Amino acid sequence: MKNLSKEIVERIEEISRPVKIMHVCGSHEHTIMQHGIRTLLPEEVEVVAGPGCPVCCVPAREIDECLQLAEKGVTITTFGDMLRVPGSESTLAEAKADGADVRIVYGVANAVEIAQKLDNEVMFMSAGFETTAPTTASELLAGPPENFSILSCHRLIPPALQFLIESGDVNLNALIEPGHVATIIGTRPFETFSEKYGIPQVVAGFNPLDILMAVYMILRQIKDGKAEVQNEYTRAVRDEGNIKAQKAMEEVFYITSREWRGFPKIPDSVYEVRDEFSEFDARKKFDIEVKDVKEAPTGCICGAILRGVARPEECKLFKKECTPMNPIGACMVSKEGTCNIAYRYSTL
Amino acid sequence: MPAFKFVKIGEDIYMCIAAPAQVIEIQDQMAVVDFGGVRQQVKLDLVEDVEEGRYVLVHSGYAIEVMSDEAAKESLEAWDELLKVLDEEDEYQKTN
Ligand code: SF4
C-alpha cells in the first residue's frame, strides 16, 4: 500500500495558497495535534480551532444555574469534564467537595438510571452539540421518572459559524465541518455559508487522513474557484443526516438565543425544552435565578481561543498557572478544549 | 494508523466522538455491540433498519447511524477511491 498521507500532502503542496481554514470540533483538534498535522502543511495553509468543545462553550451562567440546584439538594449528573468548568465563583467539583451530590455520568441514559434508583430529584446537565442532543431528546420522549429533569445546555454549530463569519473577527476562508454533528444534521445546513459567503467547506471524519483530505479538497475548491459543501466523511454522513434523530430533537426542543462562553448572545443557537416537556425542564421545575455572572477568570483568554482568534500559547497563564491538573479556564478543563490538547501534545 | 479514537467511558469521555461497533445481539430497542473486543449495551431508538451483524456508529450510549461494513472497517482503499474520484472530476472538467 502506498503512503497515502504523503501523497495527499504532496497534492496539497502542489496547489497550496494562503488560506485560513477553521474547524469547529474538539476531536478534530485532537487528531490534528496528535499527528502533528499543522507541521505537515505548508506555512501558508493555516488551520485554526473554533468553538468546537461543547463543554468549553458552556458559559459561567449555566454552571451557576447548576450550582444553585446543587445547593438546593438536587442530585446533579453530568459529564466528567463539566465538573471543573468555572462558574462565576465556583465549580461543580468544589460543590461536590463541600458535600453536594454531584455525579459523573457517561450519557443521559445513565442519568435516568440514577433517577430511577433515587427518591431525590435528579438533574442532568445536558451539554453537547447536535451529536448529543438527540440522545437527550430520546430519553425525554421515552418518559423518564418524575424526579428527573434536564438543564439544557445543548448548542448548535451552524448558528455559531454564522456568527463567526458575520463578525469578521477571524477572517476565515474555509471550513472543515464536524463529521459527527453532520451525521445527525446532514450536510445541507452548511450550504448557506457557501452560497451566501462563498466559503468552501468539507465535512470531515476523525482519522488524520480525513483531515488531510479535507484540506486538500478545500484547496482544490479554491483553485477551481468553487465554494460548496463537499462530504469527505461519507462513511458516516448522509446529505440528509439522521432524520429520525432530527425528528426527536424537533419534538423535544425549540431553538432560542443565548450566550456561549467567549461569545455574546448568539441568535438561535441553543436548544431549550418545549412546553410539552416542561415537567422535565429544570429551569421550569425549580426556581433558578442567576444574577451577576462573572464570565472568565482573570487573565484567561479562553473566549478569544474559542472564537479562533488566539492560540493557547498566546495566553500568559498557559502551562504556567494553568495546566490540566490545575485548570483556570474552561479550555484547559475539557479534554476537547484547545488549551488542554495543546498542553498534552506540547509536553510529549 | 489507528482508525478511531476509542470512546472512553466515565471521566475521560470525548463528547464529539462516536465509534463504530458491530451489533452482536438485538433485544427490543437495545443491542449489545462489540468495539473490537470490548462489549457494551447501546440504545437503538435513534436509528432504523439495524440488524445483527451490521455496524453502527455509537455516541454516548446510543447508536446514531448504521454504517456499511466497508465504512466501519475504514480501510485505506476508501481514501484511495476518493482521490480517484477527485481526479476523474478534474479530467472531466478539463475535457468539457
Ligand atoms: S491557558 Fe488556561 S487561562 Fe489561558 S486561555 Fe487557556 S484555559 Fe484560559
| ipTM of the shown complex | 0.86
* Domain B5-95 top-level CATH class: mainly beta
* A2: confidence class by pLDDT, cuts 50, 70, 90: low
* B16: confidence class by pLDDT, cuts 50, 70, 90: low
pLDDT at A295: 76
Residues A212 and A317 in one domain: no
pLDDT at A249: 98
Residue nearest to atom 1 of ligand 1 (CA): A318
Tally of domains within chain A = 2
Residues A32 and A69 in one domain: yes
pLDDT at A347: 61
pLDDT at B24: 96
Residues of chain A in contact with residue B59, where contact means CB-CB under 8 angstroms, are: 131-132, 135, 180
Closest CA of chain A from B15, distance in Å: 7
Residues of chain B in contact with residue A141, where contact means CB-CB under 8 angstroms, are: 45
* B45: confidence class by pLDDT, cuts 50, 70, 90: very high
pLDDT at A129: 94
| Cβ-contact B50, B25 below 8 angstroms | no
Residues A254 and A321 in one domain: no
Residues A102 and A220 in one domain: yes
pLDDT at A348: 53
Residues A47 and A126 in one domain: yes
| Domain ranges (residues) in chain B | 5-95
Calculate mean pLDDT across residues A93-103.
96
Residues A311 and A258 in one domain: no
The length of chain A, given as a count of residues: 348
Residues A324 and A210 in one domain: no
Residues A64-84: pLDDT tens digits? Answer: 999 999 999 999 999 988 999
pLDDT at B2: 32
CB–CB of A80 and B12 under 8 A? yes
Residues A242-253: pLDDT tens digits? Answer: 999 999 999 999
Residues A284 and A187 in one domain: yes
* B44: confidence class by pLDDT, cuts 50, 70, 90: very high
Residue B89 has pLDDT above 50, yes or no: yes
Q: Which residue has the cell 421515552?
A: A142
The phi, psi pair for B9, rounded to 5°, reads -100, 145
pLDDT at B4: 34
* B72: confidence class by pLDDT, cuts 50, 70, 90: confident
From chain B, which residues contact A within 8 Å (Cβ)? 1, 3-5, 9-18, 43, 45-48, 57, 59-62, 64-65, 67-68, 71-72, 74, 76, 78-80, 82-83, 86, 93
pLDDT at B5: 35
Q: How far is CA A281 from CA A123, A140, A277, in A?
A: 9, 10, 7
Beta carbons within 8 Å of A148's beta carbon, 6+ residues apart: A111, A112, A115, A122, A123, A124, A280
d(CA A208, CA A124): 34
Residue A108 has pLDDT above 70, yes or no: yes
A317 CB under 6 A from ligand 1? yes
CB–CB of B16 and A183 under 8 A? no
Beta-carbon pairs below 8 A across chains A and B? 139
Alpha helices in A15-156, H assignment, sequence order:
26-34, 37-40, 60-71, 92-97, 108-117, 133-141
Residue B79 has pLDDT above 90, yes or no: no
C-alpha triplet A254, A260, A261: angle, nearest 5°: 155
Q: What is the CATH number of the domain that holds A149?
A: 3.40.50.11750
Residues A173-215: pLDDT tens digits? Answer: 999 999 999 999 999 999 999 999 999 999 999 999 999 999 9
Position A253 in a domain: yes
Q: Which atom of ligand 1 is nearest to the CA of A319?
A: 1
Three cell numbers, residue A124: 442532568
Position A260 in a domain: yes
Calculate mean pLDDT across residues A263-280.
95
* B1: confidence class by pLDDT, cuts 50, 70, 90: very low
Domain that holds residue A285: 1-291
Average pLDDT over chain A reads 93
d(CA A86, CA A326): 12
Residues A282 and A306 in one domain: no
- Across A130-165, b (16+ Cβ under 10 Å) vs e yields bbbbbbbbbbbeeebeebbbbbbbbbbbbbbbbbbb
A329 CB under 6 A from ligand 1? yes
d(CA B40, CA B93): 48
The rounded percent of chain B whose pLDDT value lies above 90 is 36
Residues A52 and A185 in one domain: yes
SS3 B25: strand
